[in-house]
Amino acid sequence: MASSVKKWNQNRLMKAQQAYSERAAKYKPKPPYLANCVKAFWVGGAICAFGQLVSNFYIRFFNFTKETAGDPTVATLIFISVLLTGFGVYDKLGQYAGAGSAVPVTGFANSMSSAAIEHRAEGWVLGVGGNMFKLAGGVIVYGVVAALVVSLIKWLIIKV
């Protein structure tokens, strides 16, 4: 008998929760999808345009070629991203632009450096290193596995 009462109470509670969720959904504001897309588009584009300006700077003033200017450009963008994260500017940019601030190089540098900053009180190895690579671990593993698969496919095509 106790189990049937318990089951009846759970059923009743689930119905009440469902009714509450339906009622709350009516009053929940709709996210401004179009405005968010526009913000993400222009901020992401501005980051990429700035990267192109940096690349052109290296080409013009340091005699890099288009092929060799990529490495110092990426290093510069990572440095600026980490610096802005340290000053708290990149987080505000991320709140405003959403996915637009997650341009691969700068977004990844921001997430790595913010994890390091957040956990620095736990020590260098377990705090900074451990938490930075919790985030980076999946990216590194995916990159290594993808490189292996592509290499195997290329090797098989060349062999055949």
Do 24 and 38 share a domain, yes or no? no
Q: Looking at the structure, tell me whether residues 13 and 53 fall in a common domain.
A: no
One domain, residues 121 and 52? yes
31 φψ region: left (φ > 0), alpha (ψ -120 to 50), beta (else) = beta
Do 74 and 112 share a structural domain? yes
* Count of domains forming the chain: 2
Asked if residue 70 and residue 18 are part of one domain, the reply reads no
Contact 131, 112 (CB under 8 A): no
Q: Does 65 share its domain with 7?
A: no
Domain span at residue 59 reads: 33-159
**Residue-averaged pLDDT of the chain:** 86
24-34 tens-digit pLDDT: 888 888 889 99
- Specify whether 71 is located in the same domain as 133: yes
Give pLDDT tens digits along the chain (160 positions).
Answer: 556 656 655 666 677 778 888 888 888 888 899 999 999 999 999 999 999 999 999 999 999 999 999 999 999 999 999 999 999 999 999 999 988 888 878 888 888 888 788 777 778 777 777 777 777 777 788 888 999 999 999 999 987 6
Domain shared by 22 and 37, yes or no? no
| Same domain, residue pair 15 and 26 | yes
**pTM to 2 decimal places:** 0.69
Q: Are residues 69 and 92 in the same domain?
A: yes
